[in-house]
C-alpha cells in the first residue's frame, strides 16, 4: 500500500536539486543555490550526498579565476527520481 520512499530523495532540498537538474544539461552551484533558495552550507552538504548516492556528478573547474562547481544528474538519478515520484503517488492519490 505505502511503498517505502527513497530517503535520499525524501529531503526537501535534495528533491528540489534533482527536480531542477532533470531536463537540464547541467547547473552550477550558484544557480542551484538561487533557484532552491538554499543556504550555501546546506547545499554543499546535500550535493555531496547526492553525489555519493551516484545521483549526480560534480565537476570542479574555474570560470576565469573563480572556482566553479557544475552538477549534472546521472541516469541513476533520473531513475531514482522517477521511482520516487511513482511511490509518492501511493501516498497522495488518496
Query: How far is the C-alpha of 67 from the C-alpha of 21, rounded, in Å?
Result: 20
- Partner interacting with residue 16 (select from a copy of itself, DNA, none; CB below 5-8 Å by kind): a copy of itself
**Residues contributing to the site for a copy of itself (CB under 8 A):** 1-2, 4-5, 10, 12, 15-16, 19-20, 22-23, 35-37, 85, 88, 91-92, 94
As measured in angstroms, the least distance from the Cβ of 62 to DNA is 8
Sites for DNA among residues 7-46 (CB under 7 A): 7, 10-14, 28-30, 38-46
Amino acid at each position: 500500500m505505502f511503498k517505502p520512499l527513497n530517503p535520499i530523495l525524501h529531503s526537501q532540498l535534495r528533491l528540489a536539486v534533482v527536480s531542477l537538474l532533470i531536463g537540464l544539461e547541467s547547473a552550477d552551484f550558484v544557480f542551484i543555490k538561487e533557484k532552491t533558495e538554499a543556504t550555501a552550507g546546506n547545499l554543499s552538504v546535500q550535493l555531496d550526498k547526492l553525489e555519493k548516492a551516484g545521483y549526480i556528478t560534480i565537476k570542479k573547474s574555474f570560470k576565469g579565476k573563480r572556482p566553479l562547481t557544475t552538477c549534472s544528474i546521472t541516469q541513476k538519478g533520473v531513475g531514482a527520481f522517477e521511482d520516487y515520484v511513482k511511490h509518492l503517488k501511493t501516498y497522495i492519490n488518496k
